[in-house]
Structure 1
Amino acid sequence: MCQLSNVCKRSSYQVIINDFGKPNEVLEGVYVEVPNKLSSNQILLKVLMSPINPSDINMIEGTYHIKPSLPAVAGNEGVGEILEVGGAVQDHQVGERVIYSVADRSQCQLGAGTWRQFSIVNETNIIKVPSNISLIGAATLAVNPCTAYRMLKDFVKLKTDDVIIQNGSNSAVGQYIIQLCKYWGIKTINIIRGRQEDEKEQLVGHLQNLGADIILTEEDRKKGALKDILKSLPEKPKLALNCVGGDSSAHLVNSLRQKGVIVTYGGMSKRPVMIPTGAAIFKQITAHGYWNTEWMKDYKNSPERMEMITELCDYLDKGIIKTPKAELFYIKDFKTAVSESLKEFKTSKKVLVMDETLKC
């Protein structure tokens, strides 16, 4: 292995955000030379895989809540292998597989900068993960499954046979919600957007295989199907999970039982969350927002964070939860990958691989 402490040249291909705007107009692929010396608490990673998340696209467009200082390396999640450690590093070793820690991103560094082949990070910026979970499982661990897990754990005390309702159910987070609920014995009502009949049948079958109890489209809901479903239940949902907003969020609120809770973690419709006045006053509905980055920051030094990561890794290893379907793209094909990720109906998560052999 070539040691950075020696005079050794190593170049890294990476995707740079030069300005905020349309992704394929402002992104650029460049080679940079990796510094040939680590400081005492730094670690050299060979980045293996990094997904393209909606938040990555929003950050590139400049519409995300926070913006990195430009130019910046794109990407906020990923998995890598440790190639070398600084002299003072004690908790990590060469050869370990690690993921980037969401908690250690700051306003000016914001992207973790995962769309690159090699990365130098501080030891506090990574979390060790077991090598027995898949690379895709590790690369997509820090955001979507953690979001699903926390929303089901933190806002309402759920017990076996309780019911939750969600929109955007075919999203990556939505699929993890279905699987976690199935394992924990919680029933799910799952709303999806309408689509061509053959695509709808395929998607419904996939969500049912994951453990979804009830599935309906937004169009079905508008025709009264949700009201009929709610009438058939012993009790209405205790928790609603919203990533759409607008009219869809209002119907989630109206479906809740007395003192129910709605948690918003996205806004795909780009319309405000709607809380009907009657539900707010007479049903005493409570509304919360969830942002995974903030939770990871707040609980950076809490055992609760590592307990969650360990539990989710165990679920992945045992097949209790499965990663969403993924389509792999070599990093130099990032423009194609980004274009595919921007399509309205996506059937798979787009993932960048930094070594072309990993596509096999």
Structure 2
Amino acid sequence: MANRCIIYQQNGDPTQVLSAITFPKLPSPSPNTVNLKFLLAPLNPADVNTIEGDEPVFVGGNEGLGQVVEVGDGVEGLEKGDWVVMDKPQLGTWSTSRNVSFKDVIRLPSAGLTEAHGATMTVNPTTAYNMLSNFANLHQGDWVIQNGANSAVGQLVVQIAKERGLNTINFVRSRDDMEPLVKHLEGLGATKVLTYDDLEDRSLRGKIKEWTGGKDIRLALNCVGGEPTTAMAKLLGQDSHLVSYGAMSKKPLSLPTSLHIFKNLTSHGFWQTNWTKTHSRAEKEELIVKLAEMMKEKKIKAPEHTIETDEEATTKIRDVFAKVAQGKFGKKVLLKLEDVSA
């Protein structure tokens, strides 16, 4: 059997530049390395940005779940059969198999986890957890406000906040049939679910004051940008924090100066990749263990997802990216590349 991976030889539109290639079976691992078989690998928005950008050419994929199939001399803490997640950006997870340094992966406590849990462990859950933990000193009963609440990160924010005893006010885009989405988010633990149109309602501030018992909201999470974020920021209280981790509207963030002067608002940007680069391996392992425990205890659900296999190789993967760009899936896309006949 031969291996397969998804590559690009130049930056550009993923529907044009991605290709599937085959390569021979991996040799036995050299010292201090392990051979991995990738079980599932997510397709994240940041992957599209990377392909479109100016990074060097390589195998695509930043996140994924690997299984150790062979261990080289000198490897510590890993053995055949272990599940691992990536501890280094852009290791090229859109592949059937890879040889990597054992220091570039983190062993996953796999008991009780699904493959989908493992494959989506290191980007969205870590982003949600860190944003809730690293900016405002929140206590049980406090309130958090966010937009893009139906995004993968937004849904995780709802679940992790619920586990911590935090309340959430969640904004989503208005649609013809809101009830299923509202019920879904409430089922995850959302306290309130509103639309961006509600931000234009002058009575909203009074309603929120009633819901919170007059308690200031000190943390807002933004992945949208533009005017809805400006309106959301105005709902924050004294000494609050606005954390931006995306810009889905592709519109700039505009904040009234008065929020900074009179409410001492602090605006932050957050990028999980940077957190990974600036924190120790022990801190990353501790976070992975915390999240894995929450998943095993069913406090965090695996994202709704569709698994796309690669029977049609290059044509298939380009079609997948085209559908993602058009929003046709509405779920997390997980790639499962199969071995091919040599």
- Look up the match of 1:69: 56
TM alignment of 1:219-298, pairs within 5 A: 219-224=197-202, 226-232=204-210, 233-234=212-213, 235-298=215-278
Higher relative contact order (CA 8 A, sep 6+): 2
1:11 is aligned to 2:31: no
- Look up the match of 2:286: 307
TM-score by length of 1: 0.88
Find the aligned partners of 2:319 and 2:303 in 1 and give their Cα distance. 20
Contact 1:48 1:81 in 2 (8 A): yes
- Look up the match of 2:34: 43
1:212 is aligned to 2:201: no
Contact 2:34 2:72 in 1 (8 A): yes
Find the aligned partners of 1:227 and 1:345 in 2 and give their Cα distance. 35
Give the letter aligned to residue 75 of structure 1: G
Find the aligned partners of 1:205 and 1:345 in 2 and give their Cα distance. 22
User: How many residues end up aligned between the 2 structures?
Assistant: 332
1:335 is aligned to 2:315: no
Q: 1:26 aligns with which of 6, 17, 23?
A: 17
1:319 is aligned to 2:302: no
- Look up the match of 1:202: 180
Find the aligned partners of 1:60 and 1:34 in 2 and give their Cα distance. 26
Q: Deviations over 1:72-104 (max 9, x none)?
A: 111100001111111111221111111111xx3
Between stretches 36-45 and 160-169, larger displacement belongs to 36-45
Is the alpha carbon distance of 1:225 and 1:85 closer, same or farther for their aligned partners in structure 2, counting shifts above 3 Å? farther
Contact 1:182 1:212 in 2 (8 A): yes
1:334 deviates by 2.1
Is the alpha carbon distance of 1:308 and 1:335 closer, same or farther for their aligned partners in structure 2, counting shifts above 3 Å? same
Find the aligned partners of 1:124 and 1:164 in 2 and give their Cα distance. 36
1:35 deviates by 4.2
Find the aligned partners of 1:322 and 1:334 in 2 and give their Cα distance. 27
Find the aligned partners of 2:43 and 2:204 in 1 and give their Cα distance. 33
Is the alpha carbon distance of 1:95 and 1:159 closer, same or farther for their aligned partners in structure 2, counting shifts above 3 Å? same
Find the aligned partners of 1:224 and 1:12 in 2 and give their Cα distance. 59
1:54 is aligned to 2:54: no
Give the letter aligned to residue 69 of structure 2: L
Find the aligned partners of 1:344 and 1:276 in 2 and give their Cα distance. 32
Find the aligned partners of 2:217 and 2:193 in 1 and give their Cα distance. 14
Give the letter aligned to residue 246 of structure 1: G
- Look up the match of 1:116: 95
Find the aligned partners of 1:225 and 1:94 in 2 and give their Cα distance. 60
Between stretches 40-49 and 16-25, larger displacement belongs to 16-25
Find the aligned partners of 1:204 and 1:177 in 2 and give their Cα distance. 15
1:99 is aligned to 2:90: no
1:346 deviates by 4.9
Give the letter aligned to residue 157 of structure 1: N
Structure 2: state its 5+ residue gaps: none
Find the aligned partners of 2:180 and 2:328 in 1 and give their Cα distance. 13
Q: Deviations over 1:316-341 (max 9, x none)?
A: 01101112201110033323332232
List structure 1 runs of 4+ shifted beyond 3 angstroms.
223-226
Q: Secondary structure at the match of 2:31?
A: coil
Find the aligned partners of 1:278 and 1:206 in 2 and give their Cα distance. 36
1:134 is aligned to 2:120: no
Q: Secondary structure at the match of 2:179?
A: helix
